[in-house]
């Protein structure tokens, strides 16, 4: 239907106003979330800068998962373990605290311990892939090629026995909601580090922190940076949560590690199990 002169002019002005009002994505995100962010916790009116949230990150400031693709080797946390139940309780206490708006907790089904990170979408975007993957243009191509190499050559990896871990302590709450873990015995320590070295050689992937890597189980993410009044509350909450990871919950035998895909932080479907002793 023809609009006529007046209608066409009105439409042109409306489109022009819309285009003029359209901000740069990152600036719009920060401005649009600033008001909500001012009310994160009890100290309303004080702005907390985004930390693990925003464009290109794993989360938005409301704690919604954003698409963040990659592949990795992880051990799921056994859901019948005392450690898993302690992680569940820790989430519940976090969600019931004044700090809750500043964090997001992971779904129970995604709780895991990373053994070896491979590739994320940032490697593809920044063109930092190893030579044998350098022509890949998206994460799906990378994952297909990594899986093919594992299926063809992965049987040569040293078989892994039980992965016995023990609690080391929480990472600082000002940047994390993560429990650090350490091997509970020499057999586990040797097996994990041998697996990391063999995977690094097989896949030609070696992160900058390879030699200093700290095993851990992420319970959640801190979305925003803390302000001064948050620190006493974080110390109190940490002391309370640490009491959950005692006795039987201070150790855990992880499920067997596998090569996994992820589109976000909500699930890590397994594609290929590592050889089992």
More confident residue, 166 or 29: 166
pLDDT surpassing 90 at residue 175: yes
Instruction: Quote the pLDDT of residue 75.
Output: 98
Instruction: Quote the pLDDT of residue 231.
Output: 97
- Segment 207-218 shows an average pLDDT of 96
- Segment 18-46 shows an average pLDDT of 46
Query: Cα(7)–Cα(233) distance, rounded to whole angstroms?
Result: 58
In a domain, 226, yes or no: yes
- Segment 169-187 shows an average pLDDT of 97
Q: What is the DSSP string of 50-68?
A: BSSBSTTSSB-TTS-B---
- Segment 106-131 shows an average pLDDT of 97
In a domain, 73, yes or no: yes
Pair 167, 223 in one domain: yes
Instruction: Quote the pLDDT of residue 43.
Output: 54
Pair 31, 165 in one domain: no
- Asked whether the beta carbons of 230 and 51 are under 8 A apart, the reply is no
Percent of the chain with pLDDT over 90: 83
Pair 112, 13 in one domain: no
Summarised one tens digit per residue, pLDDT across range 234-254 is: 999 999 999 999 999 999 999
Residues 6+ apart with CB under 8 A from 222: 51, 52, 102, 103, 173, 174, 175, 176, 177
Structural domain harbouring 239 = 49-273
Structure-token pair, residue 210:
């390879």
Residues 6+ apart with CB under 8 A from 227: 43, 46, 48
Q: Can you give the pTM of this predicted structure?
A: 0.84
Instruction: Quote the pLDDT of residue 100.
Output: 97
Query: Cα(262)–Cα(244) distance, rounded to whole angstroms?
Result: 29
Task: Return the DSSP state at 46.
Answer: -
- Number of domains present in the structure of the chain: 2
pLDDT band at 44 (very low <50, low <70, confident <90, very high): low
Pair 15, 152 in one domain: no
- Segment 205-226 shows an average pLDDT of 97
Radius of gyration of the chain (CA): 23
Summarised one tens digit per residue, pLDDT across range 81-103 is: 999 999 999 999 999 999 999 99
Among 33-42, 117-126, 189-198, the range scoring the smallest mean pLDDT is 33-42
Pair 18, 57 in one domain: no
CATH number of the domain encompassing residue 78: 3.90.1140.10
Instruction: Quote the pLDDT of residue 45.
Output: 63
Task: Return the DSSP state at 23.
Answer: -
Mean pLDDT computed over every residue of the chain: 88
pLDDT band at 46 (very low <50, low <70, confident <90, very high): confident
Instruction: Quote the pLDDT of residue 28.
Output: 42
């Amino acid at each position: 239907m023809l609009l006529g002169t007046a209608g066409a002019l009105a439409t042109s002005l409306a489109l022009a106003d819309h285009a003029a009002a359209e901000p740069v994505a990152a600036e719009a995100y920060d401005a649009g979330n600033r008001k909500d962010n001012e009310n994160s916790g009890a100290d309303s009116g004080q702005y907390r800068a985004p930390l693990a949230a925003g464009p290109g990150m794993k989360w938005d400031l409301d704690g919604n998962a954003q698409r963040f693709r990659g592949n990795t080797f992880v051990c799921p946390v056994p859901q019948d373990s005392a450690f898993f139940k302690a992680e569940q309780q820790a989430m519940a206490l976090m969600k019931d605290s004044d700090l809750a708006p500043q964090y997001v907790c992971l779904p129970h089904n995604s709780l895991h311990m990373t053994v070896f990170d491979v590739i994320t979408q940032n490697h593809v975007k920044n063109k930092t892939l190893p030579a044998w993957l350098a022509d890949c243009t998206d994460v799906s191509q990378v994952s297909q090629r990594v899986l093919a190499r594992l299926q063809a050559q992965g049987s040569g990896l040293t078989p892994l026995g039980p992965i016995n871990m023990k609690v080391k302590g929480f990472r600082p709450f000002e940047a994390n909601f993560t429990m650090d873990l350490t091997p509970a015995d020499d057999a586990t320590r040797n097996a994990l580090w041998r697996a990391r070295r063999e995977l690094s050689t097989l896949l030609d992937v070696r992160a900058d922190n390879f030699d200093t890597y700290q095993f851990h189980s992420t319970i959640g993410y801190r979305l925003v940076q803390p302000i001064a009044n948050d620190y006493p509350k974080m110390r109190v909450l940490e002391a309370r949560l640490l009491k959950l990871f005692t006795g039987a919950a201070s150790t855990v035998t992880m499920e067997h590690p596998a090569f996994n895909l992820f589109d976000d932080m909500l699930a890590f479907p397994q594609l290929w199990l590592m050889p089992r002793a």
